[in-house]
Structures are given as C-alpha cells and as structure tokens.
Structure 1
C-alpha cells in the first residue's frame, strides 16, 4: 500500500473511534467534589479524584494534592457538585428484534445520562456482541455492555421473539438462544453460549428445577454467571434459588412461591393473588431469607408493572401491579437481599431521560428504599450483578474511571439523580450539554 493509502487508512481508523478512552498518561484531576463513593452513605466533601487514562489512580482530600499530582494534569473544578460512580442498568434489551440505529440512539441517551454499564438480558447476540465491542473501543457513545445467552425449554421457542432474534437460523438451535431438554449435552451447550463472549447464561422459561440446577452447575464450572427469571415455569422460585443462580429477575415472579397453584409454563402465566401480601408473607420471608443467605441478587424491575389505577384500564389483568411489587421488594430489602436497578423497558426516544430514573424513584417511593440504598443499587450492586465489581461500581483506585457528576444532592432526594451534568466512562468525558448535538 502507498504512503497515501496508509495515511488514509490511519485517518479512517482514528475517525471510527470518536469516543475512544484516553491513553495511559492522560491525567485528569476532578477537584473539590462532594464524593458519594458507592460504598459509604456518608458523603466526603472537598475530595479530589485523579484519573490516568481509563483508570482511577487516587482518591484523596483536595487539600492533600501535591504539585507533582497537579503538574501536567487537566483540572476539572467540581465545587458545589456531587461525584458518584457511574449508574448501571441491570436489565436492558437492545436487539429483539435487532435494529442498530435505534439501539445506538438508546445507548447514546444512556451514557449521556450517567449510565456507564448495562446488562443486556438476552437478544440477538450477533448484534449485541458488536455493540459491546464498539462501546469498549469508543466507536459509539455507549455504556459498556455485559450480556447473556439464553436457555429455555423447547416449548418456549414458539414465542415470536425467539424467531426475531434467530432470523436466518432455527430458533432454539443457535448458540445465543438454546432449547434445553434432558438429552442436551450440557457442557457443550454451555461452551456454545460462552463462545458468544457472553458473561452469563440467562435461564428463562419452561424448565424443571433439576434442569435449572444442571445448567447452573455447568455454567459455574465453566466460569459463567447465571442470571435467571425468579420463576422458570414450572421450576419454582425456591428451586431457582436452591440451584444457586447468581441473580433473579422480576420480584413479581418470586411471589408465585406463596401461592398453592402456580403457572406450569411461561405461556400459562396468570396474575399473582395480591390478597396474600397484605402484610409480610411468611413464605416470602423464608424465600427472601434464603436469597439473602446465598448472596443472590434481585433485579426487581418495578418499572415494568402498572399502577393499580392503570391496571384497571387494561383488557387483561397484569401479573402484578407496581404497588404489590414495591411492597414485596421492600420486604426483600428489609430481609437483607441485595437489590439492583433494572428497567426491562424504556421511555420513548423523545424523552430526555431513560427509564432508569423512573426505577430509582420507584425503588424509593414504592419499595421504601432510602436514597443511599437506591444509589448502592444503581452502582456497586449493579456491578456485582454483572460480575464486574472488581473493576467498577465504586470510586476507588484501580477501578475504571466510571463516574457521574450531579448538580444536586441525591441523598436529599432521589429525583436529584436527574441532575446529571457530566458522565465519565473509562476516563472519557460525556458532558450532558453535548447530548443531542
């Protein structure tokens, strides 16, 4: 190739990564912040955070900064502002069906809203894996994406969504979405899932308890996380928990444990009997106690449930209302269960803020969690759910420089989490004022 051709190729490569993280040696000092670090609910005033490339290298009192630390570094004055770890949405769907332009717009809004990581909970991984790559190298404005390959019983694969995400191939027979029965070669099935570069296997539907346990055991043996529905139909919530999964999604599904009759398949789900939960239910107390004892994380997803008033207007009654799910999530939280902020649905694209902020407010207003607990759910707990707590979820040396700057104190009011003015993801700055430019 000629020198001109090489130069052109080099320019194209540079232009292809406009959101690339800064190189090691690029030092930035964020000064005079009130730090809410993701580990303590006590804010630390007048704190400095030093980043080098995509990592945090120091967190100290601003008065302790040395000339050597400041020399040659960019300085960002955060006086009067609040610095938190980047937010994590633990339940997103980016590609069912795949639509790259829509997904990129969704991801752009997320990162400019303070969201630095998400869990994608099973989609067409042909597209999600490339979105994940593009996010990491900076080709697109996006949170980092950790995703799951799905497993379910063969009878689930009549669901039209499975056809949408396997287009061009057979639903249930692709590595990112597999039908599992008693004849499945489990080590091979898990290895196929792992080959998609998935972080986890999502156990979805129409599997008995022993099969949930078999998938979980083999996934863990191969170093993968297991993210499961709270009930897998017919596998009960208690059986899902006993299998040793890492996270369970949807508080509503857990409520089936307290009912004498439960759905026998995903397709045959029916509403939860709310009369069983007027006060703390003893069956749920036992279940939540076991979830807490095992360190299983609850991806509550209050966002997907209607209010009682809205439910009354629906042609078909919902499985739960947000009032019921809030009450049950509060019981789980009081029982010591680790809660995260997952949405499983988005606000319309023209809205300025993603649904994650609705989930923050629902966890506070409906589930009774104080602002500090909501912040923990949105940061360090989310990092644990994604299996990434060693690299994100709190502001401390050695972790990724994933941070969000607020103009208002979120410990006073969770609505103040909407006062985002700057996102830092892997050291790259995303000023809120640039969103939509």
Structure 2
C-alpha cells in the first residue's frame, strides 16, 4: 500500500525532537518514503491512499527491550509460599496439544504488544523456541505482531533465577557453551543469562540479587555467543552481579543496582548498555501486601531492587552510559499493553525529560540493539514503524496509553482494540 498521512504532527524520535506541525508522511510499501513539512511542496499523491491524522501525533513505534511473552502479567493470587514455576513450565510443555495451546497464547500476547504501540520487542526468556517461531510467522504474514528479537529460553544454573522453567540449567562451562549453540540453532538472536537471583526467588530479606552464576560460566557463554554472532543480555540485580556480567562480556545489563566508580568504569570500557526496568518492582515496593499478595520479604526486596534501578539509571545518564528501556512484561501486574507505563516511571522516578524518555524508548533503544539503520525514527528510507496518538506525549506521556493507529512495516492497524485488566490499571494509575 501507499499511504499519505496528512494533517499530522510528527515527533521523529531524535534526541532533540520538536513537533513538526501540518506535516505529511508518505509510506510506500514497508518504508517511509518522505516526510513533508508544511512549507514544502507536496509531490503528486494521486496513487496514495489518504489517511487523515486530524492533528494527531505521529511518532516512531515503541521499542521494548525486556519482555517475556509467555506470562500474562495478571496479578498473583494470595499465597503462603512461592509459585513453583518449574512445575508450571512442565505443564505448559507436557505434550503436543498443550504446547500448541501455549504457543497460541504467546502469539496472542505478541499481538497485544503490537496493538499497544510496541513495534519492536526483545525477549528475555521464554518457553522453548516459541519466540523465534512467532517472529518467523509474523515475518511471513501468518500472524500480527511486532518485530521480535528473540532470546528463546534463558540460561541459568542450579538454584538460579527461573532455573528449570524459562531458563535451562548449565552446570559447567561446557554445558553453557552447548546451550548457547542450541539457542543459535533454535533461531535466537540474543542469549539471556540469569547471573543473579531476583525478588521472586530471594532466600531472605535484603538479598534479592544474590550472585548465582559462576564467573567462568558467564565467560564461557559470552565467548560462545559472540563467536556465533549473538549478543548477550544479563539479569543482574546487585552490584556483584553487575560486576561479573560486565567483566565477562555481556552486551546489556538488565535491571541493575547502584553503581560505584569501578562499575561506571567497567560500563565505559566495555561499551555495554544498561536496560532500566522499573515496572515489575513497583508493585512489590509500593503496593500494600494486601494488594500485591506478595510475601513480606518480597516487599522489602522489591523496594531494594526498585531503588537500585533508579540509582543505576540516574548514574548512567550522568556518566553518558547508554540507557535503554524495557518493562519486564509478564511479571505480576505488568500487562502486555502497558509498556507506556515504563516510560512514565522513567520520567517520574529517574527524572528524564519527556523528550529524553521518548527518544530512549525509540531511537535510543534501536541503537542499543543495533537496528537503528532501519527503525526507531520517522525518517525517509526507514521501515514505516509508527504509532498515532491524539495529543502530545511530550506534554503528557500517559497519552501513549491509547494508541489510535499502529503501522508495522507499513501495515496499518486502525483503532486497535485491547482487553484490559481494569482493577490492575486502577492500582497502577496511582503512581503515574
């Protein structure tokens, strides 16, 4: 299709973006052909289908750099002991019929991501190779969804974060290398390492990010991944975990912790990026236990992790270290339509400006994962990955909650409909 988006206000995703009013965006097939300002002569548009934006705002599709497509993100039920994720994973993969049902559910969540305005999504641990399969089916036009940069199943260690569920278990360096090769064969583009524990599996209060993965396993996995042309993302929720991840070659650190000067130096010398993910920690840290249904130690640890991420993001921004955004979607209270909240939290808690936040979630994120040559900004020659909202997100980022249109490589979804969790939304809206 050839579209002419008329009466548009364009925010192009660059670091110093300003609204371009009364603009026309020309889309030819899967690419942006031209962005025409109000004082520029229009080309012949007789072959284009006109799409009247009616003063709305056209901006790059959002890029979510930390997602788990398998879980729904629904609130947990009240419980007296932690969820057995290994048992849950075994049930999801137990036979062919259940696996087909589980894959269909994952694909549906991917479509919700697209309909909420996410046009590119990097996964960080999932069920079997579903993420790569769904990526390929989206590319083939068999499903609707965002561009997926899959990690498929993560790699953990005995007793490690999500070991035996969305993460395989590496007992030594040879197993880690073998699992990386298996991921490459399954179509993964990233390797996810569970370097530390997390809030949901901490042994006691005050230790949510205990170092779990031995340094030699991190090194072996990173070396093998890079040999095969894959990049590595590392779950690290403590300073010790961040240090091990950076010293042994990861490309991005997920979640993070408060940084000292040594860790800042490591970030700079390695060129690694930091991915901020406030969304999953906020309910643990800020909700009453009666609302979050969290165990008491999880509330304490959630607060530690949330503050560590905020401090880490602030220090990285001060030091010029690349910072990206993801929302760890699939965790409790983090729904597949709610990436926009992560932008609001980055603005509110980290103190980034609205321009800086929107740039981070679009072109900035694209640069971190090496796809900025073809997406992340409204620019001639790039893929037509765009969203339309009714008012200016630079004045209020929460307008991203309701997306009027989504374009994914030129394919338009007009007024996408999403089923939302009203009770969860009401709880989370208190922290915007």
Q: Identify the TM-score tier after normalising by the shorter chain.
A: 0.7 to 0.9
CA contact (8 A) 1:408 1:419 kept: no
Aligned partner of 1:48 in structure 2 is 24
**Which stretches in structure 1 are left out of the alignment for 5+ residues?**
1-25, 166-171, 256-282
Determine which of 395, 410, 419 is the counterpart of 1:412: 395
Aligned partner of 2:279 in structure 1 is 303
**Which stretches in structure 2 are left out of the alignment for 5+ residues?**
72-88, 93-101, 196-211, 420-432
How has the CA–CA distance of structure 1 residues 217 and 82 changed in structure 2, closer, same or farther, with 3 Å as cutoff?
A: same
Alignment of 1:262-281 (within 5 A): none
How has the CA–CA distance of structure 1 residues 228 and 393 changed in structure 2, closer, same or farther, with 3 Å as cutoff?
A: same
Determine which of 178, 191, 211 is the counterpart of 1:201: 191
1:122 aligns with 2:98: no
CA contact (8 A) 2:60 2:362 kept: yes
Aligned partner of 1:133 in structure 2 is 136
Aligned partner of 1:345 in structure 2 is 329
CA contact (8 A) 2:181 2:224 kept: no
* Offset at residue 305 of structure 1 (A): 0.9
1:77 aligns with 2:52: yes
RMSD: 3.0
* Offset at residue 227 of structure 1 (A): 0.9
How has the CA–CA distance of structure 1 residues 84 and 295 changed in structure 2, closer, same or farther, with 3 Å as cutoff?
A: farther
Query: C-alpha separation between the residues in 2 aligned to 1:193 and 1:203?
Result: 12
| TM-score normalised to structure 2 length | 0.75
CA contact (8 A) 2:328 2:334 kept: no
Alignment of 1:9-28 (within 5 A): 26-28=1-3
Larger radius of gyration: 1
1:57 aligns with 2:29: no
Aligned partner of 1:241 in structure 2 is 246
How has the CA–CA distance of structure 1 residues 178 and 192 changed in structure 2, closer, same or farther, with 3 Å as cutoff?
A: farther
Alignment of 1:89-108 (within 5 A): 89-95=64-70, 97=89, 98=92, 99-108=102-111
Instruction: Find the residue that maps to 2:398 and give its secondary structure.
Output: helix
Instruction: Find the residue that maps to 2:233 and give its secondary structure.
Output: strand
In terms of mean alpha carbon deviation, does 217-226 or 420-429 score higher?
217-226
Query: C-alpha separation between the residues in 2 aligned to 1:185 and 1:373?
Result: 38
Instruction: Find the residue that maps to 2:116 and give its secondary structure.
Output: coil
Query: C-alpha separation between the residues in 1 aligned to 2:266 and 2:365?
Result: 20
**Count of aligned residue pairs for this structure pair:** 366
1:230 aligns with 2:236: yes
Runs of 4+, deviation exceeding 6 Å: 347-351
Alignment of 1:353-372 (within 5 A): 354-372=337-355
Query: C-alpha separation between the residues in 2 aligned to 1:189 and 1:102?
Result: 25
Query: C-alpha separation between the residues in 1 aligned to 2:105 and 2:176?
Result: 37
Aligned partner of 2:96 in structure 1 is none
How has the CA–CA distance of structure 1 residues 363 and 30 changed in structure 2, closer, same or farther, with 3 Å as cutoff?
A: same
How has the CA–CA distance of structure 1 residues 44 and 222 changed in structure 2, closer, same or farther, with 3 Å as cutoff?
A: same
| TM-score normalised to structure 1 length | 0.75
